[in-house]
Amino acid sequence: MIKVKLAYNNGFPWHTRDGCHVRGYLFTRENRYLSGPDLSDYFLPADDFNDFMKRVTEANGMFSVILLKEGKAFMASDCIRTFPLFYSISGTDGILSDSVDQIHEMKGSWKFNHQASYEFKATGFVTGRETLSENIYQVQAGEAILIEGDKVQQRLYSTYQTRQTDFPSFDALLQGLEGMSARVFKRLTDSLQGRTAVIALSGGYDSRFIAAMLKRSGYRKVICFTYGREGNPDMILSKKVADTLGYQWIPVVYTEELVEGYLQDDAFYDYVRYTSNWVSMFFMQEYFVVRYLKEQNLIPPDSVIIPGHSADFFAGSQFLKHGLAARNESPKKICKRIWDIKYNLCKPPRDTRRIMMVRICRTLLEKRLMEDARSYSIYEDWDLKEKLAKFIVNSCNIYAWFGYEYRLPFYDVFFQDFFRDVPYALKINKRLYDSFLVDGLFKEYGLNQAHEIQPDARIQRMAHLKKQLKKILPAGLLPNKPSRQDPIFYYEITRILQEDLVQKGISINIQGNSYNSLIVQWYTEYLKGL
């Protein structure tokens, strides 16, 4: 017997009818916007798994769905895993949920997944279908699940891999990017349905892209906010952008008074359980700003928050930083790159390296490597389904936790499809993307700022080389501590977690210049203490 137990209605409530449980929204192939009960109507007619797969594949949006039909269960998340789903099967009995804690409660017991914990502490997420709890599994990004009796069938329905070799001209691609962006933001504004768009406006290109496109679209109900240490560069630049576009701008300066005491607040632990869910690192940098905006009634209750994730990824920002080459590479070399770049928060013990490499190779091969796919796109596909889905996209559930919907326009399927097939040479240094913005959209609205063009390819390659050399230098020769003057106040925020672990007699292992290494260690110890 299959049981469904859903716990979370924050921001995007679940809608249940006739065995269909849906959350979120989508656009159909005909570009119809569906949410709430209409979303149920979209999935309910699915007669079998193939029909269900077809409907999921053709959907463009942020959604999760569970459909029970004639003793079978269908489950799916969108191609970025916006709203996590989990399942546990024992014989012919199954539990499906949006909460690992709910499954534990129904099973009456759980067992810690130690292999996954090493990976989690190294990356901030658990790869593949596993979780930090043994025999409880997650529905992955772009994956549909069929559960029938004691059998589970998994099928990926989306990929970011490409074998593209023939490309339009640069001017044709710029024109295509212009048209595609207009369609993506038309869908965005349609989905807002007249509500206030609240832009998490930083000093970067991506959130500025959103602000400019909303201006071009004529959408009037827009508020911008920025947060962090007083006087930080993002706060200065974002104010200039908001003022130029005529948008209301709300600065939230982080202070010790604003962030103190959260470990004594039960609501914080509820947030941790919701957003981490035994798979992902919880994020703290926006916890205090969203809480403040809500408590001070600075944005309307029905606001839709729009952060600037992750156009730069699709545009190619990681190509030079991660040493992605145009030439073909073996899966083994791609796995090695993933290990070198992604497993750095807290390096797993030496005796677990072989196990971690096996996990990486398994999750890479599970992505169904496309014949003749460009090697860099295989790496991008892994990065999108693992790091971005479980780390970046998952971090946005901070907005839902406080009761707000959110949108991620750069994860629109058409935005992904466009950049997936952009040639390697135009992804290097984000050449196509930056030209579109700097010489086009930003110039049109006077949003270009002095001294912000990123370094050229030669300088970035040198930076990548220095980073590789740093890994092989003896410890102690280079600084290995995060800065106490970080712009988002993370030193003060994470110091509270560090002091909590010290008081409990737990040793701390800070690696690299990342505060996230503290967060993943604190969360792992928190789970062990449950």
- pLDDT of 350: 86
Domain boundaries, the chain: 2-156, 170-314+389-465
278 contacts 129 by C-beta, under 8 angstroms: no
* pLDDT over 70 at 324, yes or no: yes
More confidently predicted of 271 and 474: 271
Instruction: Report the topology of domain 170-314+389-465.
Output: Rossmann fold (3.40.50)
pLDDT tens readout for residues 494-516: 999 999 999 999 987 666 568 99
Compute φ and ψ for 483, nearest 5 degrees.
-70, 140
pLDDT tens readout for residues 207-251: 999 999 999 999 999 999 999 999 999 999 999 999 999 999 999
381 contacts 363 by C-beta, under 8 angstroms: no
The angle subtended at Cα 276 by Cα 281 and Cα 294, nearest 5°, is 100
- pLDDT of 516: 93
Please tell me the distance from the alpha carbon of residue 530 to that of residue 183, in angstroms, as a whole number.
Answer: 47
CA 358 to chain centre: 24
Compute φ and ψ for 295, nearest 5 degrees.
-65, -35
**Polymer length of the chain:** 530
Of 174-178, 183-187, 440-444, 467-471, give the lowest mean pLDDT range: 467-471
504: tokens are 């409990």
* pLDDT over 60 at 472, yes or no: no
- pLDDT of 469: 53
154: tokens are 């998994």
Provide the whole-model pTM.
0.94
Mean pLDDT, rounded, for 25-51: 97
Of 143-147, 327-331, 379-383, 477-481, give the lowest mean pLDDT range: 477-481
| Number of Cβ within a 10 Å radius of residue 172 | 10
Please give the CATH architecture assigned to the domain spanning 2-156. 4-Layer Sandwich (3.60)
pLDDT tens readout for residues 94-135: 999 999 999 999 999 999 999 999 999 999 999 999 999 999
- pLDDT of 479: 45
- pLDDT of 236: 94
159 contacts 368 by C-beta, under 8 angstroms: yes
pLDDT tens readout for residues 366-394: 998 899 999 999 999 999 999 999 999 99
Compute φ and ψ for 127, nearest 5 degrees.
-80, 165
Query: In the β-sheet with 86-90, what is the strand arrangement from edge to edge?
Result: 2-5, 93-97, 86-90, 137-138
- CA atoms within a 13 Å half-sphere pointing along the CA-CB vector of 498: 13
